[in-house]
Chains A and B, each alone.
Chain A
């Protein structure tokens, strides 16, 4: 079978360039689809993953929980193989993997499940302000049930200080939840330190590793992680599948959210989707084998993008700690240019101004607010997300477009004009609306 990728840079290069005004981009004809630069939102499925999945979508359709016939047995075998592939990637026991519908469900089960199970003795949960919405919202739900939640602030580079967690942990604390790699600014949290700390204090440690699994090396035992959320579609696997790592020794007990047939050790009832699970397993195996190569590729691409943009455009700020971050996620603020208008101008590149879950609202990103980005810069941010299939040509094309459009929009920006005239924008009394 032949699968052709439609991500090539050539297909979107404008055929007719504008010679009218500097502001005019009307006559740029765009063929084909935009380049994809939003790998934190989702990634394309790897053709090798699809190949592994196809038999289970066509002929091998048995229910993995059917014990009475060959259809069930072959599916069960496939599910168990996938469990092993995931366990190999994060260095745990296959029995510690629970299949779910995705990282959001994993985070819900982990945060609510652990907090509720131990609620008679402990009613305190610690998390950070830059977590994914599903963790924050699960915590809000717990607050409604009478739990006490601490939302720890992060430094202005986005990193959490382990000593802040230490100060907050009390005898009432049941769970600490800190994400491994941030989805908006790519910052890697000091998971080793936090894991060590939680273990010494006898508190369970959950980490949302949706953006980290398969991209950076993870060893749940070395990192002392008790629960970890994994997503399929962030690692070139299918959408609608995720896995939750739950430690067996010492055992982490969970109050299940979903009632049903007791599949997945009673933690997540419901028929396991064999084809998706096989896809996730295959994606994890590929990620394990190619992690070093992929990571080097991400570094190469991100350095290229950063160097070119920073050298060519002034007043660009990188959000998040550049020393402790995953290179495939770069969040830049282009001062004096509004992010949404820049995205509209870069219509042949699929980019995002932050999390896909919050881009429908007009509010600037809460993650950028949490790291203390000025509100006007928070409105000017764009996230560049590279993936395994991103090419150098695509990065170069994106950079050229960004430079051109930032210059165009700055020529239209009253703020840029005022800055050029030497006016301090902070000295102006702005009318709020």
Chain B
């Protein structure tokens, strides 16, 4: 039965990468298998902004944190560190990993310019996974807005302290 001799060769020639390439782009697999900037920053730190977006019921939750350099040290207020944790599919993990990579070293205004379409394009996300890139954009925005609120509150506190000192 010589025809059967060919079967094992065909089976062995079928590599794992080929199987996954059908569903995920290699960039998604790269970020998923080797995620950048996983972890947490101290959320009580005034220079840290935390964004938590998504919902467990929808199958995606992203937590993205940014740490901005002290304005006295760096006038532009560049983002010196970014971390993420994600509950979600491979594309969601890849989107948030890429987002942290991109915001690092950017100013807040530059970071606000990041678009979900850029993330989707970079990772070659299929239409059913586009919401992952939108969620990543939301996470960046939420983290930046949290940072701004913290800074404003800190400013107010500072002013109040100054006022009370002046009154005394």
Chain A residues within 8 Å of B, Cβ to Cβ = 1-4, 6, 20-21, 23-26, 30, 32-34, 336-338, 340-341, 344-345, 347-348, 362, 364, 374-376, 379, 411-417, 425, 430-433
In the complex, what distance in Å separates the CA atom of A379 from the CA atom of B89? 10
Further 17 A-B residue pairs, CB within 8 A, beyond A375-B58, A379-B57, A379-B58: A23-B38, A24-B33, A24-B34, A32-B12, A341-B32, A341-B90, A348-B16, A375-B56, A375-B57, A411-B38, A412-B38, A413-B87, A416-B87, A417-B85, A431-B55, A433-B53, A433-B55
List the A side residues contacting B58 at CB < 8 Å. Answer: 375, 379, 432-433
In the complex, what distance in Å separates the CA atom of A27 from the CA atom of B20? 16
Q: How far is the CB of B79 from chain A (nearest CB, A)?
A: 19
Chain B residues within 8 Å of A, Cβ to Cβ = 1, 4, 8, 11-12, 14, 16, 19-20, 24, 30, 32-35, 38, 40, 52-63, 85-90, 92-93, 128, 131, 134-135, 138
> Are B87 and A338 in contact, with the CB atoms below 8 A?
yes
> Are B86 and A412 in contact, with the CB atoms below 8 A?
yes
In the complex, what distance in Å separates the CA atom of A20 from the CA atom of B11? 31
> Are A344 and B32 in contact, with the CB atoms below 8 A?
yes
List the A side residues contacting B19 at CB < 8 Å. Answer: 34, 347
In the complex, what distance in Å separates the CA atom of A36 from the CA atom of B69? 51
List the B side residues contacting A345 at CB < 8 Å. Answer: 32
User: In this complex, what residue of B is CB-closest to A4?
Assistant: B8
In the complex, what distance in Å separates the CA atom of A364 from the CA atom of B35? 25
Q: A430's contact among B11, B12, B16, B56, by CB below 8 Å, is which?
A: B56
List the B side residues contacting A425 at CB < 8 Å. Answer: 56
Q: How far is the CB of A420 from chain B (nearest CB, A)?
A: 11
Instruction: Report if A340-B89 is in contact (Cβ < 8 Å); known contacts: A6-B8, A32-B12.
Output: yes
In the complex, what distance in Å separates the CA atom of A338 from the CA atom of B59? 7
User: In this complex, what residue of A is CB-closest to B56?
Assistant: A376
List the A side residues contacting B90 at CB < 8 Å. Answer: 340-341, 344
Q: B54's contact among A3, A411, A431, by CB below 8 Å, is which?
A: A431
User: In this complex, what residue of B is CB-closest to A415?
Assistant: B87
List the A side residues contacting B93 at CB < 8 Å. Answer: 341, 412
User: In this complex, what residue of A is CB-closest to B17?
Assistant: A30
> Are B128 and A414 in contact, with the CB atoms below 8 A?
no
> Are B89 and A338 in contact, with the CB atoms below 8 A?
yes
List the B side residues contacting A364 at CB < 8 Å. Answer: 59
> Are A33 and B38 in contact, with the CB atoms below 8 A?
no
Q: A415's contact among B8, B40, B56, by CB below 8 Å, is which?
A: B56
List the A side residues contacting B87 at CB < 8 Å. Answer: 336-338, 413-416
Q: B88's contact among A2, A338, A411, A431, by CB below 8 Å, is which?
A: A338
The 7 A-B pairs of least Cβ separation, nearest first, read A376-B56, A430-B55, A414-B63, A375-B57, A379-B59, A340-B89, A414-B85
List the B side residues contacting A379 at CB < 8 Å. Answer: 56-59
> Are A414 and B62 in contact, with the CB atoms below 8 A?
yes
> Are B11 and A30 in contact, with the CB atoms below 8 A?
no
> Are B34 and A344 in contact, with the CB atoms below 8 A?
no
> Are A433 and B35 in contact, with the CB atoms below 8 A?
no
Give me 24 A-to-B residue pairs in the complex whose CB atoms sit less than 8 angstroms apart, sorted by A's number: A4-B8, A24-B33, A33-B11, A33-B14, A34-B16, A336-B87, A340-B89, A341-B90, A348-B16, A362-B59, A364-B59, A375-B58, A379-B58, A413-B61, A414-B61, A414-B87, A417-B40, A417-B63, A417-B85, A431-B54, A431-B138, A432-B55, A433-B53, A433-B134
List the B side residues contacting A2 at CB < 8 Å. Answer: 4
In the complex, what distance in Å separates the CA atom of A3 from the CA atom of B11? 13
> Are A433 and B56 in contact, with the CB atoms below 8 A?
no
> Are B61 and A433 in contact, with the CB atoms below 8 A?
no
User: In this complex, what residue of A is CB-closest to B23?
Assistant: A344
Q: How far is the CB of A259 from chain B (nearest CB, A)?
A: 38
